[in-house]
A and B are shown apart, each in its own frame.
Chain A
Amino acid sequence: MSDKPQMIRPRNTMLERLGGRPGVPGKIDASLLKKAEDRIAEVGATYPDRVKIDLEKLVALAGQAASDADRRAEAITSINLIVHEIRGEGATFGYPLLTKFAGSLFKFTDGLTSPTERQLALIKAHVDAMTLVVKSGIKGDGGAIGAEVDQMLAIAIEKYAAPHKP
């Protein structure tokens, strides 16, 4: 690699192969876009069954974190990995509240190694809220039920994340 900064224009063979022309924006068949949208809806329909497996793992890991001090850090790292995936998947498959709660738990567990009892309780509250979203099939913002679950978790966060008062 030369020390001098260089600007390189790689040959673009894709455009021509796919039927496009340089400088002219191409189109994608609208019927294919519709099929792809329908496919998301189809895959989304099976998502609750898939994510239930992850939620069961989260319940077990939250239990492990609470009861096994030696494996606590390991359990929280695993929780962090799982909720990172769920926060990306939830809204994709029509469950934005799941993404919201998973994102909140992801931030809360990121770098957390020695949680207090209150922090462990907050992890459990998140897992419970996520389980409720899936069990109750709360899609979109979930309307009144969604707002209620959201509020419940907000109260739990306020209760458990606040500094402990003796």
Chain B
Amino acid sequence: MVGSTYNFKALSVLLVDDAKPMADLLGSILKELGVGKITTHADAKKSMDLLDSIAQMQAAGTPVVDIVISDWRMEPISGVDLLKWIRNHPSDGIRFMPFIMLTAYSDNARVMAARDAGANEVLAKPVSVHNLVRRLLSVIENPRPFVSCPTYFGPDRRRKSIPINFPDRRKTSPR
């Protein structure tokens, strides 16, 4: 079956990066792809304030942020701090928000750390249109279910179905 062509006009992206060249570049790429609303912050505190206000207004049906793209290394609040704050937010509309972590760290340990903090996707620099689009389509087309347990809340970290030789203790509930 042939898929339809996406219209990103209805997409709202929150971009958080304190490095202006990268923030400008990502904003430009998203704009060229037709993303309808791009909000850019250099300080993650502003993003937290925005998401808090969105959480309060959500009941009134106001437009929400669909996807957060944030750089990892920022001062004073890092991308991981922002991600953890989102995943611990009392509002479901915020804590389930897709989060793409942008990073120049390429080592596997850092990628695992981003996943363990609850990132949906990790976008490693150098950035290309292809890589960004792949991450966007992943969260749009194949959103992973969330796992909630005392030690973790975030997208299922297992991308592959690996057979296990013990009963799966997780219960599935639709939202």
CB-defined contacts of B150 to chain A, threshold 8 Å:
1, 3
Are A4 and B6 in contact, with the CB atoms below 8 A? no
A43 to chain B, nearest CB (A): 5
B78 to chain A, nearest CB (A): 12
How many Cβ-Cβ contacts under 8 Å join chain A to chain B?
175
Are A32 and B96 in contact, with the CB atoms below 8 A? no
CB-defined contacts of B33 to chain A, threshold 8 Å:
28, 32-33, 36
CB-defined contacts of A28 to chain B, threshold 8 Å:
5-6, 33, 133, 137
Are A6 and B149 in contact, with the CB atoms below 8 A? yes
CB-defined contacts of B20 to chain A, threshold 8 Å:
50
Are B25 and A43 in contact, with the CB atoms below 8 A? yes
Interface band, chain B: 35 or more
B125 to chain A, nearest CB (A): 3
Does A144 reach chain B (CB closer than 8 Å)?
A: no
Stretch in B39-47, B51-59, B111-119, B167-175 touching the partner: B167-175
Are A32 and B32 in contact, with the CB atoms below 8 A? yes
Are B145 and A8 in contact, with the CB atoms below 8 A? yes
Are A21 and B146 in contact, with the CB atoms below 8 A? no
Which residues 59-104 of B sit at the A interface, judged by CB distance below 8 A? Answer: 66-67, 73, 75, 92, 96, 103-104
CA gap between A46 and B21 in the complex, in Å: 9
Are B3 and A18 in contact, with the CB atoms below 8 A? no
**A36-B171 contact, Cβ under 8 Å, with A5-B147, A25-B3:** no
The interface bits of chain B over 11-34 (1 if a CB of A lies within 8 angstroms of the residue's CB, else 0) are 100000001111011001101111
CA gap between A26 and B6 in the complex, in Å: 6
Which listed residue, A7, A21, A39, A88, touches B32 by the CB 8 Å rule?
A39
A49 to chain B, nearest CB (A): 10
Does B127 reach chain A (CB closer than 8 Å)?
A: yes
Which listed residue, A5, A21, A29, touches B149 by the CB 8 Å rule?
A5
Chain A residue, CB-CB nearest to B88:
A1
Chain B residue, CB-CB nearest to A102:
B104
**A contacts, CB < 8 Å to B:** 1-12, 14-15, 17-21, 24-29, 32-33, 35-40, 42-43, 47, 50-51, 81, 84-85, 87-93, 96, 99
**B contacts, CB < 8 Å to A:** 1-8, 10-11, 19-22, 24-25, 28-29, 31-34, 66-67, 73, 75, 92, 96, 103-104, 125-129, 133, 137, 139-141, 143, 145-150, 153, 156, 169-175
16 new A-B pairs (CB below 8 Å) besides A5-B149, A81-B73? Answer: A1-B150, A14-B11, A15-B140, A17-B11, A18-B8, A19-B5, A20-B141, A28-B6, A39-B25, A39-B32, A42-B28, A50-B20, A84-B73, A90-B126, A92-B22, A93-B25
Please provide the 9 A-B residue pairs with the shortest distance between their CB atoms, ordered closest to farther.
A88-B104, A88-B125, A91-B126, A5-B149, A92-B126, A36-B32, A26-B3, A10-B96, A35-B32
Q: List 16 A-B contacts (CB under 8 A).
A: A1-B149, A1-B150, A1-B153, A4-B171, A5-B169, A6-B173, A7-B148, A7-B171, A8-B173, A10-B175, A14-B11, A20-B3, A26-B6, A42-B28, A88-B19, A91-B125
